[in-house]
Amino acid sequence: MVEIEKEYLRVWIDRSIKLMFSEWFHPVNSEEYRVGNQLLLDLLNEYKVVNWIADSALLGEISVEDEQWTFTYLIPAMTDSALEKVARVSGADKVSFSKFEKFAQQAEESYIGKIVVRQFETYKEAADWIADIPA
């Protein structure tokens, strides 16, 4: 098991099943968002992660500039990884849920056809979905 914790982000990876879990602890500024996501991308590639549970319930809003960075840099880089499934935990925030759904749809049309992305309110729902679908 690999575990990394920063002031704003925790990550663990179970190498035996190629699963990564990440959790944002609170809303972050642009630098923390990009540094944190670069760390996640590096770990995806280093450990050849296939399944990722991404808990963004406390992440908060990201800027338009960071959305653009995500769309033009992060997502294309994710498609070059071994990643097959992402289960995003959004919590009960319906605005965040809806915004991410639109973003994911736009990304899927352009980049992530090979990565299945679903969104859930709880960790349990996300983990159950990851466990149900064979890699």
Question: What residues does each domain of the chain span?
Answer: 2-132
% of the chain with per-residue pLDDT over 70: 81
| Token duo for residue 88 | 């995003």
Distance (Å, whole) CA 134 – CA 62:
32
pLDDT one-digit tens code per residue, 59-98: 988 898 998 898 889 888 888 899 999 998 987 655 554 5
Distance (Å, whole) CA 66 – CA 70:
6
Which pTM was predicted? 0.84
Q: Hey, what CATH class is 2-132 in?
A: alpha beta
pLDDT one-digit tens code per residue, 99-113: 555 555 555 554 456
Nearest to 68 by CA among 116, 110, 22, 119: 110
pLDDT at 106: 55
pLDDT at position 10 over 90: yes
